[in-house]
């Protein structure tokens, strides 16, 4: 059915919530704030690091310092792979899917960090150069440019492209690009998803291996 599989990174391919939360809380504490619950920070992920940091400081009631973003990125860089790992069954799923169609990654995370995580998690060989990060020339999700670029590079129509993600941002990206969407209910970005927006032709999975059966 699908000629290209495009994956979100955080909350879809890998569980990175603890490392993101640890970095955000370390910065909060440096600025005199109290740490937030990991689950709460997980719900703030998806729009890129700058938005995450802004949301965390607003939730903690702490003034956002002008150098918050570079400080967060430095703190996160040191924790990038402390706890982050592929979701159970992900490697087996990707191994099965690559027999059917090419695969790519589309994330709002900076490209260098994305590639380090893919390498460290043993996922890089599945995607090769088909990786778009949030700090390149293409507009970040939910703008459809990155998804359109990956489909064009693969020579695949968007109607035959499946975006696999865990958040409303991924859902909206697929909608804007006229691509198909598969929502990963197991991902931390799915918490709070507006369920009434899910359409009958949208796919929802509870585990990575469910993808094999779509």
Supply the residues annotated as catalytic. Answer: 8
- Token pair 């400080």 is found at 71
Closest CA to 131 of 103, 158, 171: 103
As a whole number of angstroms, the distance between CA 126 and CA 122 comes to: 9
Closest CA to 154 of 100, 208, 107, 214: 100
Exposed, middle or buried, 39 (CB in 10 Å: 0-12/13-18/19+)? Answer: exposed
What are 63-68's contacts with CB under 8 Å, separation 24+? Answer: 63/31, 65/31, 68/27, 68/31
Helix and strand counts by DSSP (H, E) for the chain: 8, 8
* Cα atoms in the Cβ-side hemisphere of radius 13 Å centred on 4: 25
Q: Report the 10 Å Cβ neighbour count for 20.
A: 27
């Amino acid at each position: 059915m699908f000629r290209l599989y495009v994956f979100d990174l955080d909350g879809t391919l890998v569980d990175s919530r603890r490392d993101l939360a640890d970095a955000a809380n370390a910065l909060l504490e440096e600025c005199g704030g109290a740490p937030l619950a990991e689950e709460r920070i997980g719900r703030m992920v998806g729009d890129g690091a700058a938005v995450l940091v802004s949301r965390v400081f607003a939730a903690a009631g702490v003034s956002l310092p002008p150098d918050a973003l570079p400080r967060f990125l430095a703190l996160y860089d040191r924790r990038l792979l402390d706890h982050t790992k592929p979701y159970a069954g992900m490697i087996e799923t990707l191994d099965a899917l690559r027999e059917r169609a090419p695969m790519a990654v589309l994330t709002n995370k900076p490209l260098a960090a994305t590639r380090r995580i893919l390498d460290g998690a043993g996922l890089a060989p599945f995607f090769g150069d088909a990786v778009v990060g949030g700090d390149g020339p293409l507009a970040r999700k939910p703008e459809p440019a990155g998804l359109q670029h990956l489909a064009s590079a693969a020579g695949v129509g968007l109607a035959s492209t499946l975006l696999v993600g865990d958040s409303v941002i991924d859902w909206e990206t697929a909608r804007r690009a006229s691509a198909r969407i598969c929502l990963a209910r197991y991902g931390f970005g799915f918490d709070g998803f507006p369920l009434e927006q899910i359409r009958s032709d949208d796919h929802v999975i509870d585990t990575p291996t469910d993808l094999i059966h779509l």
